[in-house]
Amino acid sequence: MVAEKKGMIGFKEGDFVVYPTHGVGQVKGIEKETISGQVLKLVVVTFESDRMTLRVPTNKMETSGLRKVSSQKIMDAAVSTLKSRARVKRTMWSRRAQEYEAKINSGDPVQIAEVVRDLHRNVGQPDQSFSERQIYESALERLAGEFAAVESINKEQATEKLEAVLQAA
């Protein structure tokens, strides 16, 4: 489970964590709060880019998907996924869009990298539709957030590095 002050919950104040549907956030602490007469221990996570605070009960940590930022090895796998050849299925866009959204919300950097790779357009390629562009930017932002946390750089630098990998591929 997750460490409180001694390390039982696994997160401590200042740690970067990933919540699958919101991306990278930072642990602000562990609080106790009484809700409907029950005392709950909550991990408080803030997401600066969204100006949002999330409180996850410690007994729901497993099912919520809240996890530590990926290892360097997993991030390297995601970057090598960006270098691989795009695999665009010939199914209807609405079905592909649902699959892409599911991959983004999975929180898995390799799956998010697949979405970025598949929707990336180089100069000279046909333009994207509005919804393709939105999904691409959402996936790139999510991947860049975790890449930045792993590499200890800011999100803009992470985005530039990821786009350079895409251009070179």
Same domain as 97, residue 52 = no
pLDDT at 10: 79
* Total number of domains constituting the chain: 2
Give me the CATH number covering residue 54.
2.40.10.170
Q: Given pLDDT bands bounded at 50, 70 and 90, which one contains residue 1? A: very low
Structural domain containing residue 114: 72-168
pTM across the whole model: 0.84
Same domain as 47, residue 115 = no
Whether 123 has a pLDDT exceeding 80, the answer reads no
Same domain as 155, residue 102 = yes
Same domain as 151, residue 76 = yes
Burial 45-57 (b: 16+ CB within 10 A, else e): bebeeeeeebebe
pLDDT at 50: 79
Strand 67-68 with 52-57, pairing: unpaired
Mean pLDDT, rounded, of the chain: 88
E strands, the chain, in order:
16-19, 23-35, 38-47, 52-57, 67-68
Contact 134, 142 (CB under 8 A): no
What is the distance between the alpha carbons of residues 169 and 71, in angstroms, rounded to a whole number? Answer: 23
Angle at 131 between CA 96 and CA 124, to 5 degrees: 90
